[in-house]
Amino acid sequence: MPTSLKILKKKYSNCKQCPELVKNRSSVVFGSKHMNACKVLIIGEAPGKKEDESEIPFVGRSGEILNGFLKEIGLTREDVFITNTILCRPPGNRNPKVLELKNCKTRLNECIKLVNPEVVITLGNFSTQYLLETKEGITKLRGKIYEKEGYKILPMLHPANLLYNGMSEKLIKQFRSDFKKVKKLI
């Protein structure tokens, strides 16, 4: 098993397990630029176009929203480790397929062990359902704290929901409430 995030990143830097994703991607988006273990691990769904180009997760508009909520609780991107359930951008930004999630499962599990977080924030359905091993949707699971293998899991809506819903004040309040829970947990 890899002993550091840098070694794990190198191991998966040329992954070819998902032919459709390999054909579509520009890069493998492993995770945050820094490779340090952190108290908070954030798991999104899949890289988008900007992430695929930069090799860094959450650098687009959703990333700006995420950065803002982190700042509100006194954290920066350097204080957390961010990754996705899958490493490669799906064509047309479609949802990850079951086999793609399965192919990235070992890597994600290794990543979680290496980061050794106190809190894992899951953003959206795919990361939440993966980590909690459930079919239940994010709207029913969000905002509640779950425990697994020594860390707390806090499911949240994906920041893109704010973009799709015109920065709804109701959703902004939900995000603020969820991020305040993160602050209390760490």
DSSP annotation of 150 reads: T
Predicted local confidence at residue 17, as pLDDT: 94
CA nearest neighbour of 10 among 107, 89, 113: 107
Radius of gyration of the chain (CA): 15
pTM of the model: 0.94
Predicted local confidence at residue 2, as pLDDT: 59
User: Do 179 and 72 meet the contact criterion of CB atoms below 8 Å apart?
Assistant: yes
Q: Which residue has the tokens 């707390």?
A: 152
Predicted local confidence at residue 1, as pLDDT: 47
Residue type, 118: E
Half-sphere exposure of 139 (CA within 13 A, CB side): 2
Task: Name the phi and psi angles at 158, rounded to 5.
Answer: -75, 140
Predicted local confidence at residue 155, as pLDDT: 98
Torsion of CA 20, 112, 186, 137, to 10 degrees: 50
Distance between CA atoms of residues 63 and 79, nearest Å: 15
Strand partners, 84: 44
Could you tell me the CA-to-CA distances from 26 to 35, 70, 167 in Å, in that order?
Answer: 21, 28, 30
Structure tokens at 117: 């977080």
Structure tokens at 53: 């180009």
The segments of the chain whose pLDDT lies below 50 read 1
Ordered by where they begin, the domains of the chain are 5-185 (3.40.470.10)
Q: Name the burial class of residue 65, with classes exposed (0-12), middle (13-18) and buried (19+) by CB atoms within 10 angstroms of its CB.
A: buried
Strand partners, 147: 152
